[in-house]
Amino acid sequence: MKYNILVCDDEKDILDAIAIYLKSDNYNVYTALNGKDALEILNTEEIHLAIIDLMMPEMDGITLIIKMREKTNIPIIILSAKSELTDKIIGLNVGADDYITKPFNAVELNARVNSLIRRYFSLGASNINTENIKIGRISINDESKEVMVEDEIVNLTPYEYKILLLFVKNPGRVFSSNEIYELVWEEEAINVRKIISVHISHLRDKIEINPRKPDLIKSVYGMGYKIEAK
């Protein structure tokens, strides 16, 4: 299967460069110069991953991601000239899955795209558990990537899904923020506590009865997080 990537940036030179890099990895590439055009593409084409610039005319990247998350949970990579942690957190807060800064390395960009695509669609995975995994009111089908909470489907981003799956497969085990990041992102963990905290907060919003008083995903003071073995 040939995957379709949407790239949205107001700088045409960057769009052209990214398109060349991704096409070299055998992806189909759709480009848009602003958020409005990107939404039109999303409404007419089957897109499997999006790379989105934050600062754009007509509709900025943050607004675009918010609108996308109303309809889809495909992987989203933020592309921005800003490198501060706060910008990364803003992107994660509105539903992005990864972040890369300009000027970017083509090899790194392709590696991140490949990793997210592989993770999201589980390509080449020989040990996928296709049976439902259940704990408490949560049921996960790892083949269809479907998560149900009390018989209602909830839409998770790829990283939210992977974190929840990690917890559900290891009920009662405490994972530190660094462990979660390294197991889910498959990268070295450096200053990731806030990033994990944001993802845990979003996950709780979607699966907890009362996110302020979670009964499933528990914080263990000074140690990390776990899911209650019920």
Among residues 188, 166, 160, the alpha carbon closest in space to that of 74 is found at 160
Rounded Cα–Cα distance for residues 79 and 104 (Å): 9
Q: Mind listing the pLDDT tens digit for each residue in 127-163?
A: 334 457 888 889 898 777 889 998 889 999 989 999 9
What phi and psi, each to the nearest 5 degrees, are found at residue 153? -70, 135
- The answer to whether the Cα torsion of 94, 201, 85, 109 is positive or negative is negative
**Which residue numbers in the chain have pLDDT < 70?**
1, 82-85, 87, 122-131, 229-230
Among residues 186, 181, 174, the alpha carbon closest in space to that of 222 is found at 174
What pTM value is reported for the model? 0.60
- Find out whether 68 and 76 touch, Cβ atoms under 8 Å: yes
Residue extents of the structural domains in the chain: 4-121, 132-227
Question: What's residue 83's pLDDT?
Answer: 63
CATH number of 4-121: 3.40.50.2300
Question: What's residue 146's pLDDT?
Answer: 87
Rounded Cα–Cα distance for residues 156 and 189 (Å): 22
Q: Is the peptide bond before 158 cis (omega within 30 degrees of 0)?
A: no
* The residue to which tokens 């790829």 are assigned: 158
132-227: CATH topology is: Arc Repressor Mutant, subunit A (1.10.10)
Question: What's residue 54's pLDDT?
Answer: 85
